Amino acid sequence: MAMQMQSFLLASPVTSLANRQMIPLYNVKSSPRFQRNAGLQVRCLAGEDEQKEQVPTATPELKPNPSPAPKAPRPSTKFSDVFAFSGPAPERINGRLAMVGFVAALAVELSKGQDVFTQISEGGIPLFVGTSVLFSVASLIPLFQGVTVESKSGDIMSSDAELWNGRLAMLGLVALAFTEYVKGGTLV
């Protein structure tokens, strides 16, 4: 058995190719490689007295044609566009209310020792409605005037940061209420 295996390995195509010369399958000639812009000369077809021979440089100077930046289309101020599912108002307003609600819920919990459900049941609904109306109107006035949130965005206080803070505040408020419900009391 060992002898058969040895003869099998010696007769394999791999070992026989290793002992033979390689025969090229295709007649391939290597093409020479040229350096980029090697020997490039640029001549101007202007008048003979103005004609000059230019020597190529390593980095050609390109003069960009300054064209006026196209104006961004003005955002729609229709009620249906502002309150559309992917419109600017719903997530921003909900995020802003969640940020205020999360901070307020934690502040009242730390100062009075009341959980979220106790805060709502003991007179928190009128305060919530008043805050919601105030923030909604304050958020909608610029949107109906055609001002985008992105146009007022800065480096630190950017519109994306506001969206992410609002999303995290929404999750935090739900997590706070759920944890207090499961725990049966205040979080802290």
| Whole-number Å distance between alpha carbons of 104 and 7 | 85
pLDDT greater at residue 86 or residue 180: 180
Is 43 in a helix, a strand, or coil?
Answer: strand
- The greatest distance separating any two alpha carbons of the chain, rounded to the nearest whole angstrom, comes to 95
127 CB-side CA count, 13 A: 11
**Quick check: 184 and 116 in contact, CB under 8 A?**
no
pLDDT (tens digit per residue) in 102-136: 999 999 899 988 888 888 888 888 888 998 999 88
Label residue 8 by pLDDT band (50, 70, 90): very low
pLDDT greater at residue 161 or residue 155: 161
Residue 18 in tokens: 């290793």
pLDDT (tens digit per residue) in 37-96: 656 666 666 665 555 555 555 555 666 666 666 666 677 777 778 788 888 888 889 999
The predicted pLDDT at position 179 comes to 92
| Whole-number Å distance between alpha carbons of 3 and 92 | 80
| Whole-number Å distance between alpha carbons of 136 and 143 | 11
pLDDT above 70: residue 154: yes
For residue 60, which amino acid is it? P
Closest CA to 57 of 35, 44, 40: 40
